[in-house]
Amino acid sequence: MYEFDYKRPGTIDEAAGLLNDDTVLLAGGQTLIPTLKQRLAQPEALVDLSAIESLRGVCPDGDQLAIGAMTTHAEVANKATIPVLASLASGIGDAQVRNRGTIGGSIANNDPAADYPAAVVGLNAVVSTDRRTIAADDFFTDLFETALEEGEIITNVTFPKPEAAAYIKFDNPASRYAIVGVMVAKTSSGIRVAVTGAGPCVFRQTEMETALSGSFTTQALENISVSADGLNSDIHASAEYRANLIKVLAKRAVAQING
């Protein structure tokens, strides 16, 4: 780790005022701190968001659930009133990661194998920042890239409660990130199928969405052939294997929803 200044502002405005090209936001630090320890980043200052109370908490509000950006995975696992979200959060990393990592930090980082992007896209959530709101479909743009502008701070993520949903994840045996994770949800805006881990960035499997809109059964997915084109390939899983998992996990998610 190189030397850096550490700032812990009490308000979002104060935090925003501290940001510049040489500072980075510290949320749960589950990616940033290891990166610093390996001397792979050399910021002048970290701006720690942990003292900003308004960024924390799980707030049910009618048919939606607002989760503060600095809410830990463990808190979401324990308190989220959307069961699929609680169960997804409970499967992230290990207990130490869940007690430190936050939803805002996770989606701002947009790791291709992270779980939360599947929830945000699959459940059609809205990401609020200190400047605007961003629809889920517009938020995740590419590998480790999001629609966030320079210095923009996520304040919360609001999830509409789905009619039914299931998230099935195939763990990387080593890291326990998703080799593939599939969220299938019946939402007020229709059937959504979001896939994480498989590609450079979370994506919707629209062919499956269409098929399931016609008939919400595993049979409806049977004849869909998932292409390996553009999927990730690494020492743990080839693109072809990931393509297989997308279909297998989607079917299992549908089966789980259908009980």
Partner 1 sequence: MTTETGIGASVRRKEDKRFIIGKGRYLDDITKPGQTYGYFIRSPYAHAKINSIDTSEALKAPGIVDILTGPDMEADGIGPIICGWGITSKDGTPHKAPAHPALAVSHVKYVGHQVALVVAETLQQARDAAELVEIDYEELPHVIEVGDALASDAPQIHDDIPGNLSFDWEIGDRAAAEQAIASAHHVTRMDLRNNRLIPNAMEPRAALGEYDAGTDEITLYTTSQNPHVHRLVLSAFNAVAPEHKLRVIAPDVGGGFGSKIFIYSEETVCAWATKKLDRPIKWTADRSESFLSDAHGRDHETHAEMAFDADGKILGFKVSTKANVGCYLSTFASAVPTYLYGTLLNGQYTMPAIYCEVQAGFTNTAPVDAYRGAGRPEATYVVERMIEIGAREMGIDPGEIRKRNFIPPDAYPYETPVIMAYDSGNYALAMDKAQAAIDYSGFEARKAESAQRGKLRGIGYSAFIEACGIAPSAAVGSLGAGVGLWESAQVRFNPTGSVTVFTGSHSHGQGHETTFAQIVSDQLGVPIDQVEISHGDTGKVPFGMGTYGSRSLAVGGSAIMKAIDKVVEKSKKIAAHTLEASVEDIEHSGGVFSVAGTDKKMTMAEIAFSAYVPHNYPADVEPGMDETAFYDPLNFTFPAGTHIAEVEIDPETGTTEILDWVAVDDFGNVINPMIVEGQVHGGLAQGIGQALLENCVYDKESGQLLTGSYMDYCMPRADDLPTFRVETINTPCTTNPLGVKGCGEAGAISAPAALMNAITNALGKEIDMPATPEKVWRAAQGL
4 binds partner 1 (CB under 8 A): no
**Structure letter (DSSP) for residue 29:** -
Separation between Cα atoms, residue 116 and residue 87, nearest integer Å: 11
Backbone phi, then psi, for 132, in 5-degree steps?
-170, -175
39 binds partner 1 (CB under 8 A): yes
CB of 89 to partner 1, least distance (A): 19
CB of 131 to partner 1, least distance (A): 34
244 binds partner 1 (CB under 8 A): yes
Residue nearer to partner 1 on the CB measure, 80 or 245? 245
Q: Provide the 10 A C-beta neighbour count for residue 116.
A: 30
Separation between Cα atoms, residue 20 and residue 206, nearest integer Å: 39
Burial string for 193-221 (b: 16+ CB within 10 Å, else e) reads bbbbbbbebbbbbeebbebbeeeeeeebb
Could you list the beta-strand ranges (E) of the chain. Answer: 5-7, 23-26, 45-48, 58-61, 64-68, 126-129, 133-135, 140-142, 145-146, 154-160, 164-171, 178-187, 190-196, 203-204
User: Residue 232: which residues within 8 A CB-CB, separation 6 or more?
Assistant: 112, 197, 198, 199, 200, 239, 242
CB of 253 to partner 1, least distance (A): 13
Q: Which of 245, 246, 253, 255 binds partner 1 (CB under 8 A)?
A: 245
Q: Which of 77, 236, 255, 256 binds partner 1 (CB under 8 A)?
A: 236
Tell me the window of 50-58, 145-153, 189-197, 234-242 that interacts with partner 1 (CB under 8 A): 234-242
CB of 173 to partner 1, least distance (A): 5
**Gyration radius of the chain over CA positions:** 18
7 binds partner 1 (CB under 8 A): no
223 binds partner 1 (CB under 8 A): no
225 binds partner 1 (CB under 8 A): no
Tell me the window of 56-64, 95-103, 129-137, 235-243 that interacts with partner 1 (CB under 8 A): 235-243
User: Residue 3: which residues within 8 A CB-CB, separation 6 or more?
Assistant: none
Residue nearer to partner 1 on the CB measure, 2 or 6? 2
256 binds partner 1 (CB under 8 A): no
238 binds partner 1 (CB under 8 A): yes
Number of residues that bind partner 1 (CB under 8 A): 17
Instruction: Scan residues 133-192 and list those touching partner 1 (CB under 8 A).
Output: 170, 173-175, 177
CB 198 within 8 A of CB 180: yes
Residue nearer to partner 1 on the CB measure, 192 or 242? 242
Q: Which of 1, 95, 135, 143 binds partner 1 (CB under 8 A)?
A: 1
Q: Which two tokens stand for residue 89?
A: 């959060």
38 binds partner 1 (CB under 8 A): yes
Three-state DSSP class for 259? coil
**Where do contacts with partner 1 occur on this chain (CB under 8 A)?**
1-2, 38-39, 170, 173-175, 177, 235-238, 241, 244-245, 248
